[in-house]
Amino acid sequence: MNRRTFFQGAAAGMAVRNAARAAASPGLDAKIVRLNLLHTWTTTMSASQYRDTLYVAFSRDGITGHGEGAPIVRYKEDAESARKAVESVRELLLSSNPMRFSKTLAEVFQRIPGEWAGKASIDIALMDWVTQRLGIPLYEYFGLDPADAPVTTFSIGIDTPEITKQKTLEAADYPILKVKVGLSTDEPTIEAVRSVTKKPLRVDANEGWTDKEEAVRKINWLETQGVEFIEQPMPAAMIEETRWVRSRVHLPIIADEACERPADIVKVKDAYDGVNIKLDKCGGVLQAFRVIQMAKALGMRTMLGCMVSSSVSVTAAAHLSPLVDYADLDGNLLISNDPYRGVRVVKGKLTLPDKPGLGLTAAA
Ligand code: MG
């Protein structure tokens, strides 16, 4: 080896070592990503053409864990407040041992008031990192069988009867639909769906009905329309009224806005038959696991839902889906610029990636 080759080799070696050191040193990237909706999305709460979610990438020892949180306007969160929340614990995350994630997340939850989507983005990124390090898919960390993953519903937002029909026809691949109601157009909406399909329907009123007699009337009419259950018929605070309604209808009533986190199970257990669990409401995968276990212990039905979000958040939720009775994990199917691929829907059934961690790949 001559002098020149020696120095070239040494420089190359140093560059490789520097790159390895950079990859090995902990890194945290929190950024807001705008997801574009395929259809303007209308519920009782909002109408929009895009949603901003928070992405977190946690890197250490050459492994990067990805997380996402979709802030929920109803809880007065937005992507910027979520980003600030994550930045407030940057030093803690970079200095902690990620394998001791329960300890770190307990500290994160103690330090950040509210900001459940921000917390979820941290939890998901850490759990993706940890299970990649362990070399197992996230579902295996929880001891679950991916073959038990349920069929997911596909959601139809509130629209004119003509567009509702068109959306229903476009959802031909999905064997169960979830229809949003709760405005004055409930009957025409369901009739529009029923004019083009006989599929089982699940209905979400998003707290839209404030009169308990009206709620009973509508739920009993929905029962005649082949509806399997009704989600959040009345405002979350109207627990007593919901209990009254529940005693007068046959359809199961599922709590969404009325049940955010584990302790809320105690409030809703006598007024509802089940709970809709979302990582963005409760603060991530580990919290969602707790809500599911508490609900099951009390004999309640369980459902995993999501906000409009990319495959990062939806795939994280899908890894827990073998545990639940119902899944409404279609948030990534409603957008046109998903940055990742993860869980897939095959004839309606959630199909989990079997790679370590969440099993995400960058979209082509
Ligand atoms: Mg809902």
230-285 pLDDT, tens digit each: 999 999 999 999 999 999 999 999 999 999 999 999 999 999 999 999 999 999 99
Q: Which residues on neighbouring strands pair with residue 275, listed in sequence order?
A: 255, 302
145 lies in the same domain as 256: yes
CA of 153 to the centre of ligand 1 (A): 12
pLDDT band with cut points at 50, 70 and 90 for residue 6 = very low
CA of 94 to the centre of ligand 1 (A): 35
CA of 209 to the centre of ligand 1 (A): 13
Q: How far apart are CA 251 and CA 230, in angstroms?
A: 7
Give the pLDDT confidence score for residue 16 in this predicted structure: 47
Residue at 6 is within a domain: no
Q: List the CATH number of the domain containing 103.
A: 3.30.390.10
94-118 pLDDT, tens digit each: 999 999 999 999 999 999 999 999 9
151 lies in the same domain as 195: yes
158 lies in the same domain as 96: no
Is pLDDT above 80 for 34? yes
Q: How far apart are CA 147 and CA 131, in angstroms?
A: 19
Q: Which of 122, 138, 154 is the last residue of a domain?
A: 138
Ion ligand 1 — residues with CB under 5 Å?
Answer: 204, 231, 256
181 lies in the same domain as 268: yes
102 lies in the same domain as 147: no
Rounded percentage of the chain residues whose pLDDT exceeds 70 = 91
287 lies in the same domain as 332: yes
232 lies in the same domain as 184: yes
328 lies in the same domain as 343: yes
Q: Which of 75, 110, 138 is the last residue of a domain?
A: 138
CA of 351 to the centre of ligand 1 (A): 23
Residue 235: give the domain boundaries: 140-362
273-289 pLDDT, tens digit each: 999 999 999 999 999 99
Residue at 3 is within a domain: no
215 lies in the same domain as 357: yes
Contact between 302 and 277 (Cβ < 8 Å): yes
Q: How far is CA 81 from each of CA 67, 86, 111, rounded to the nearest angstrom?
A: 16, 9, 14
Is pLDDT above 60 for 7? no
CA of 363 to the centre of ligand 1 (A): 28
Residue 29 structure tokens: 């990237």
Give the pLDDT confidence score for residue 44 in this predicted structure: 63
Give the pLDDT confidence score for residue 23 in this predicted structure: 53
DSSP assignment string, 115-136 = -HHHHHHHHHHHHHHHHHHHTS
